[in-house]
Amino acid sequence: MPSRRHFIQGSTALLTLAAAPWLPSLAFADPSMLLKRAIPSSGELLPVIGLGTSRTFNVSLSEDSLKPLDAVMRTFINGGARLIDTAPSYGAAEAVTGALLKRTNTQGKAFLASKISATGRERGMAQVEASLRALQTDTLDLVQVHNLQDTRTQLALLRELKARGLVRYIGITHYLESAHDDLLDALAKEPVDFVQLNYSVGERNAEKRLLPYCADHGIATLINRPFQRGQLLNRVKGQPLPSWAMETDATTWAQLLLKFILANPAATVVIPATSNPRYMADNLKAGIGRLPDAALRQKIVAAFS
């Protein structure tokens, strides 16, 4: 566990660098301070802050478009984070992720999670091959069945690819609370390493059954939509952070929202998306220091309602 002194030193350094407009890509704290959690099926440790790529990484491969995202990627990897979540259906996001990892020379450092959103085995396989090309890699760390599309067929394919060493972990995803029961039904039938689901201060249904099920059955979780696409942050825009936020070591509203999620031990990695290197540095800080206890979590919920 990092000491309180280390946390203060690290977070001050992070804040100072993040505030320096000429150094956004170098804005990172001591990467060893970032909290890690284990993938239950293997014991492999993952840093708890990941990176989503939906919309934010769907840009052209031109220098002008890649430059700001280059700083996001450097901040992310230099800050000790690893897991990047992308998908064939996110437009150019896979190709942009591959290009950014190449130009920042960080290819071996990322944990690459993509998805299959296809019906039928052949189309599923074609998507995985296209993902490998776009991400410029020979293997994928995680491939997830996107929004439970053709789950049985695609998980059978993914199990084969896992046995062949092309894919290291397999999973399923959804982004709606109305699909949590369907995720639970799929989990009861099909063994997977990961489930990706929506959970945030504004969408707490996963606390009831899905997250406890994952904890009880040794399934890692990726938490999507932590800011409900930014809507949660709009609710508190311009409002000062309450003084009790200090008790969680949070210095921004975004960190409070991410820490609320990470306070649930069943959350393995949270995957906020951003195109802004300062937001990336901000989000990384949520993985450092104290997490809110039950009383503080209630205060966070009240602050956003």
Question: Site residues (CB under 6 A) for ligand NAP?
Answer: 52-54, 56, 85, 146-147, 173-175, 196, 224-230, 233, 254, 271-276, 279, 282-283
- CB atoms under 10 Å from CB of 63, counted, come to 9
Residue 54 or 154 having the CB closest to ligand NAP: 54
Contact between 87 and 124 under an 8 Å Cβ cutoff? The reply is no
Residue 4 or 248 having the CB closest to ligand NAP: 248
Q: In whole angstroms, what is the distance from residue 225 CA to residue 46 CA?
A: 19
* DSSP-H helix ranges across the chain: 4-19, 63-78, 93-103, 121-134, 151-163, 180-189, 210-217, 231-235, 253-262, 277-285, 294-304
Residue 10 or 277 having the CB closest to ligand NAP: 277
Q: How far is the CB of 59 from ligand NAP (least distance, A)?
A: 11
Q: How far is the CB of 54 from ligand NAP (least distance, A)?
A: 3
Q: In whole angstroms, what is the distance from residue 140 CA to residue 121 CA?
A: 18
Q: How far is the CB of 3 from ligand NAP (least distance, A)?
A: 25
Q: How far is the CB of 223 from ligand NAP (least distance, A)?
A: 8
Phi, psi of 36 (to 5 degrees): -125, 150
- CB atoms under 10 Å from CB of 152, counted, come to 12
Phi, psi of 211 (to 5 degrees): -65, -45
The residue sitting closest to ligand NAP, measured at its beta carbon, is 52
Residue 53 or 78 having the CB closest to ligand NAP: 53
Residue 37 or 174 having the CB closest to ligand NAP: 174
Q: How far is the CB of 270 from ligand NAP (least distance, A)?
A: 9
